[in-house]
A = this chain, B = another copy of it.
Amino acid sequence: MTAIVNIFLKQGVLDAQGKAVFHALKSLHFDTIQDVKIGKQIIVDLDTQDYNQAKEDVTKMCEELLANTVIEDYTIENIK
């Protein structure tokens, strides 16, 4: 099975990379731009056909390694 994990900084934590890209796009004259947030997308392939086990494993991976839960939120989507 494959799972997609999206990791973004929590609300209130400064997204310096997003701000830098926002200003770069402004200076390239993309005048409609309002905000940019940058996160990570991680695609995990698992050798199991069990949806629940996959979900449990990926949640544990996020908690233990993939996300820094002090400053980051993660969502797991599209397990199939």
Contact = CB atoms under 8 A, between A and B. Distances in A.
What class of interface size applies to chain A in its complex with B?
20 to 34
B34 A47 contact: yes
A34 B28 CA distance: 41
A60 interface: yes
B60 A30 contact: yes
14 contacts: A18-B42, A21-B42, A21-B65, A25-B61, A30-B60, A32-B53, A33-B45, A33-B47, A33-B61, A34-B46, A36-B43, A38-B43, A40-B40, A40-B41
Interface of A: 6, 8, 18, 21, 24-25, 28, 30, 32-48, 53-54, 57, 60-61, 64-66
